[in-house]
A and B are shown apart, each in its own frame.
Chain A
Amino acid sequence: MVEVAGETAVVNGVPGPAYDEPPIIEVRDLSIAYRGKPALSDVTLDIHRHEIFGIIGPANSGKTSFLRALNRMDAFNTAMEVSGSIRINGKNINDWRNEYALRSRIGVVFPLPVGLPLTVYENVAFSPRLRGIRKRAELDEVVERCLTRAALWDEVKDRLDSLGSLLSGGQQQRLTIARALSQEPELLLLDEFSIAVDPVTTMRIEDVLKELRSELTIVLVTNLVQQARRLADRTAFFLMGELVEIGATEDLFEGDVKDKRTTGYIEGRFG
């Protein structure tokens, strides 16, 4: 359970978010539009190292757009216009020489598992190979470590050479998490990862995320408010492209809110 005491938190004895250090992500006046149609406006927030930062809100509230902007996936979609600034580790993401180097340090898990048309092994070895790791032994080690951390190793260790797409939905989603971890990211972005995953697997993945928190920073976009409650240290509530409020998750769920709409959404009165 998460205990939020003022500005610091301790989770199961693991040191909590580093609120006293400079934030890993600084977002200032971020606005996103698609062909002039606004999707998100004037978002300003900080995300701290070793924090699980939850983002909740109904569909079309700009949650996914926010994640895509962090990863500069807007370069992929010509219709997406981004203004404002995002700094990661103090450096504006638009100052990166190429977006590929930036993306290689950020792991992304999409709502529906996207198994690349490769074997289980090659899915996880994809990013290490891009980084230039060629030695089989080294790759073997990375693949086993990442699959183990994603709680998938025991289930797939005998079928590493079969296609990733032949795994079950829950296994595929854990495979994409293993793949994201193989990037050795400092930042993990999860976009409604549990949409296509059964409840038991969801809980297993949630346990994995809690452990990962000691090593990296996680931004968790979720359509399940209770998932935010279980995982997130702080939670932001997005509504129709507006950042309504940010607060310690427990405060928001206890009703300690600045805006009544937050409680309304959390209690399921709309959304």
Chain B
Amino acid sequence: MAWYVDRAARVLVFVGGISAIVFIIGIFVFITKEGLDFVLGPLSLGEFFTSIAWRPTSNNPTYGALALIVGTASVTGFAMLFSVPLSLGAALFIAEFATGKTRETLKILVEMLAAIPSVVWGFVGMSIMNPLIIQIFDVPLGLGVLNAGLILGLMAAPIMTTIAEDALKAVPDTYREAAEALGATRWEVIVKVVIPASRNGLLAAVLLGVGRGFGETMAVLMASGHAINLPTSVFDSVRALTATIASELGDTVTGGAHWGSLFTLGILLFVVTFLINLTADIVVRGIRKK
């Protein structure tokens, strides 16, 4: 009897494990297939990466994705700029300083933050942040890199905080005790022992945050202004890759050039995400080997 259970469990776990790989390959194949006609046909790589003219519905369509790429990069970059220190600080406080009720309450609050739907964040960006930015900075429009970046940063913060806190908590208390016994202060223990010991996990937390920002669609669509534009200041409106796909795919002819161009954006997103993860993996392995 136990033998059957063991066998069944093994098969089940194997199927579970393999299905993740199957799905990823499946998605990649599907996106590539849909985009392939376009990539091999009307696409000019030079135009795609260097032109900001994204006019797929024009009578003389052009497919310059530079502004979209810069849009996604600027919003994600700005989000990480304030979100990473914020999240790591929060994680340090929860893991190393907070005790008892404070700690539990904070953990629950952070997890609740993570559960807020992205459309709600987008709504906050449009109806609260927009007028605030207009008022504080005296600019004509509050939808842009600043707004979308702040919203995205707040969205990415809970997951980064949670993962980073787990990484810090995984550092054995014996390390802390040993370092404290050597006369190190709490802060010295954190900087010299706890953070170095948990850097893999902290790096993973940051990269998950980057991935979250990179792939976010609805909130960015609502808070970024959705205008094709190379931003010169944080108040400029931009348009993200993801938002472009979401807003345009419904209006395309299945299998047409516009349809294919959107799938090409999808391929780009997929490749970049893959590269980020691969880099992270290599960095983490490199650290581990040392």
Contact = CB atoms under 8 A, between A and B. Distances in A.
Interface of A: 71, 73, 76, 78, 98, 100-101, 103-108, 110, 112, 114, 116-118, 126-127, 130-131, 176, 179-180, 183
Residue from A76, A114, A176, A180 having most chain B Cβ neighbours under 10 A:
A114
Interface in B230-271: none
Given A116-B193, A117-B193, A117-B197, A130 B174 contact: no
B181 A130 contact: no
A101 B196 contact: no
5 contacts: A98-B185, A106-B181, A107-B181, A114-B174, A117-B196
- State the majority secondary structure of interface residues on B: helix
Given A78-B99, A100-B185, A116 B177 contact: no
Given A110-B174, A112-B174, A130-B188, A103 B193 contact: no
B178 A176 contact: yes
A130 B184 contact: yes
B183 A104 contact: yes
Contacts of B281: none
Contacts of B178: 108, 110, 114, 116, 176
Nearest to B186: A100
Interface in B147-165: none
B175 A127 contact: no
A130 B177 contact: no
A117 B194 CA distance: 9
B180 A114 contact: no
B181 A101 contact: no
Contact of A76 (B177, B192, B193): B177
B36 interface: no
B24 interface: no
B99 A100 contact: no
Nearest to A112: B174
